[in-house]
Amino acid sequence: MHAVQQHLQDHVGWGNDPLLFSTANGEQIGRGGAFQKHWERARKAAGRDDLRFHDLRHTGAVMAAQSGATIAELMGRLGHTTPAMAIRYQHVAQGRDDEIARRMSEMIKVAQ
């Protein structure tokens, strides 16, 4: 079973607003002590002492953009109010141009 699926099954409650990560008491991990302790442990386990928490949001946003999300979809996903904010996540990844060209070729084949 995928690690995320296992975590969801073992630790996340049901309902409309379950917490993905919580304290041992099932409460929201807040800023400060409880969160920082877990975050530092996770960074160390991943061998990424340089990782900032916001880097996770940034990575998710870039992956969404690269998967084909429109600016409007990124704005909705990230809670941005202007296109300029969402455009920050439209990075050009190395080798991505080849994938774009391949997809465009596929679109032309379908249209013919």
Per residue in 45-101, pLDDT (tens digit) is 999 999 998 888 888 888 888 888 889 999 999 999 999 888 887 776 667 788 888
Q: pLDDT at position 111, please?
A: 65
And the tokens for 71? Answer: 């600016």
Beta bridge partners of 22: 28
Q: What DSSP letter does each residue of 14-72 carry, written as one string?
A: -SSS--SSB-TTSPBP-TTHHHHHHHHHHHHHHT-TT--HHHHHHHHHHHHHHTT--HH
And the tokens for 102? Answer: 């391949």
Q: pLDDT at position 73, please?
A: 93
Q: What pTM does this model have?
A: 0.56
